[in-house]
Amino acid sequence: MLTITWQEEIASLKQDLRKEINKISGHSEINIPNHICINNLKSKLERLDEIEKILSPSNK
């Protein structure tokens, strides 16, 4: 059975979010829906950073 740690899951999610942000940002035109989408993805990335800090052993 494959066991994935929370650190691996967060790293994977952050990588996926960064890829999606770069993909959307790479379009020649950044329209309002794309801008909103990018901001939402960045917000999710920031929340993952906060979760990671809370769960990290050094925080206990």
The string of DSSP codes covering 4-25 is --HHHHHHHHHHHHHHHHHHHH
**pLDDT for 3-49, tens place per residue?**
779 999 999 999 999 999 999 998 778 799 999 999 999 999 999 99
Q: Which helix (H) or strand (E) holds 36?
A: helix 32-55
**pLDDT computed for residue 13 by the predictor:** 97
Whether 1 shows a pLDDT value over 90: the answer reads: no
More confident residue, 2 or 34: 34
Nearest CA-CA partner of 16 in 35, 36, 44: 44
**pLDDT computed for residue 56 by the predictor:** 87
**pLDDT computed for residue 27 by the predictor:** 77
Q: Widest CA span of the chain, in angstroms?
A: 45
pTM: 0.81
